[in-house]
Amino acid sequence: MRTQVAIVGAGPAGLLLSHLLHRQGIDSVVVERRSREYVEQRVRAGVLEQSTVDLLREIGLADRLDREGLPHHGIALLFDGVAHRIPMSDLTGGRAITVYGQQHVVRDLTEARLATGGQVYFEADDVTVLDVTSSTPRVRFTVEGRSTELECDIVAGCDGFHGVTRGLLPASARFLEREYPFGWLGILAAAPPVDDELIYAYHERGFALASLRSPTISRLYLQVDPTEDLAEWPDQRIWDELGTRIGHDGRSVNEGPILEKSIVPMRSFVCEPMRHGRLFLAGDAAHIVPPTGAKGLNLAVHDVHVLAAALSHWYATGSETGLDEYSTTCLNRVWRVQHFSWWMTSMLHRFPQHDAFQQQLQRAQLEYVVSSPAAATSLAENYVGLPWS
C-alpha cells in the first residue's frame, strides 16, 4: 500500500489530522490497535477550549457539538466552604469552554472520515514503524490475519503515551517528567451535577472536582494516594467524601448510580524534540499534562493543526520551513500549558510533604486569585485557552 501520510493512532489527534489533510487534498491512512467501539467509548477529557471549538466549527464537524455540548462561561474555586466564581467570558472578551466528552469528539471524527472515504484500520496488530530517517518510511501491521506494509512520505505518531512511535526517537532526545504524589479517583455517575459550571475544591482532606457530561450525568474526582486500592472505595464512601469536600453554602452533592470509576496517577511529561526525520509526534505521544488544567485534548488539537498546515505547505511548495519549525512551535505552547497545569495542581492539591506554612501559602494564592482582577484574568485566559498565533 502507498499513502502520503501514515497516521498511527485513531484518537482525537490522529483522526483530526486525517480530516484536516483530507480537506487539503492530502491522502492519509490511519492505523489503530484498538477496536472502533473501544476508542469511541473511552471516557477521557471533556473540556474543549474556545480555539478547539472554533476549529471544529470551521471544518464542519461541530453540528453535534453545538447541539449537545455545554458552554461554560465561568468556573468556581471552592475553599473554606465558600465558592468563588471566576467569570471567564467576562474576563476574556467572550471566550468560553465547552464540555463535550472526548469519546463524542472521536465518534464525530470517525464518522466524518469514513463518510468521506477515509481509510481507518482498527484492531491492527503488530504495528511497526520503519525507516523514519529515509524519504520513504513504512508502517507494517496486521489486520484480520493479513499482513500489510504501508509506504508513505510522513509518519504521524498519534498513538498516545504507551504507543510505539515515541520509542523511535534518537538517544539524543530528552524526556522530562514529573510524578505527583497523588492520583485522581474519578467517577461517572447518573446523577444531576452539583452546579451548571465546574467547581474546583481545595479542602484539608484533599482536592476535589465537580464536573459534568450532561444535565443528568456527573463527572467527579477525588484526590487520593495513587497506590490506593479501588476496592477500598465502595460507592457510599466515595459519595461521603465528595459531600465533605464539595458540599458548600448549603448545597449538597447529588448521588446516583456510579457508572464508572477508576484511579489514575498524576504526571507531567514532555519529550523534546517532537520530530525525528519523517516522524512527527502529536498529542499524548509527545506530552502529558495533569488534568487539573483540562488541556490534554486541546494540546493534541493544536499539535495537529500546526502539523496539517506545515504538511499542506510542504506538498504545495516543497518548502520544509513549517516542518522544521513544527517541534519548536508546538513545544512553546506545550511548556506554557505545562506551567499553567502545574500551577493549578500546586495551588489546589494537598501535598503530603507540605507543612502548615506551605498550606498557608496555598490559601494565600487562592485568596489572591479570587480577589485580584489581574490574577483572575490570567487564570481565565489560560483556562479558556490562549488564542493560537
- pLDDT, tens digit, for every residue of 163-195? 999 999 999 999 999 999 999 999 999 999 999
The verdict on whether 291 is a catalytic residue reads: yes
Say which residue the cell 475553599 belongs to: 79
> How would residue 46 be classed by pLDDT, with cut points 50, 70 and 90?
confident
Catalytic residue among 12, 19, 22, 72: 72
Interatomic CA distance for residues 13 and 36, integer angstroms: 15
Q: How sure is the predictor about 41, in pLDDT bands with cuts at 50, 70 and 90? A: confident
Distance CA 207, CA 242 (A): 10
- pLDDT band, residue 249 (cuts 50/70/90): confident
DSSP state of 73: S
Q: Which one from 100, 121, 180, 200 is the annotated catalytic residue?
A: 200
Q: Mean pLDDT across the stretch 154-170? A: 97
Confidence category of residue 219, pLDDT binned at 50, 70, 90: very high
- The pLDDT tens digits for 272-314 are 999 999 999 999 999 999 999 999 999 999 999 999 999 999 9
Res. 149 pLDDT band, cuts 50 70 90: very high
Q: Is the dihedral of CA 345, 346, 349, 353 positive or negative?
A: positive
Catalytic residue from among 180, 202, 221, 383: 383
Cβ pair 83, 194 in contact under 8 A = no
Active-site hit among 22, 295, 302, 349 = 295
271 vs 105: CA distance, rounded Å: 25
Burial 269-278 (b: 16+ CB within 10 A, else e): bbbbbbbbbb
Phi, psi of 79 (to 5 degrees): -155, 150
Q: Please tell me which residue in 248, 276, 291, 305 is annotated as part of the active site.
A: 291
Specify the pLDDT at position 250.
78
pLDDT above 90: residue 42: no
Task: Measure Cα distances from 195 to 80, 89, 214, 370 in Å.
Answer: 18, 17, 11, 19
In the prediction, which pLDDT does 341 show? Answer: 97
Q: How confident is the model at residue 53 (pLDDT cuts 50, 70, 90)?
A: very high
The SS3 call for residue 357 is helix
Known active-site residue 170: no
Q: Determine contact, residues 20/80, Cβ cutoff 8 Å.
A: no
Output helix, strand, coil percentages for the chain, rounded to the nearest 5: 40, 30, 30
pTM: 0.95
| Phi and psi at residue 279, to the nearest 5° | -100, 130
Average pLDDT over residues 231-235: 97
Strands 119-121 and 28-31: parallel
Does the pLDDT at position 44 exceed 80?
no
- The three three-digit cell numbers of residue 299, written as one number: 494540546
Q: Hunting for cell 474576563 — which residue is that?
A: 91
Report the pLDDT averaged over residues 239-261.
93
Instruction: Please indicate whether residue 383 is annotated as part of the active site.
Output: yes
Q: Is the pLDDT of residue 362 over 90?
A: yes
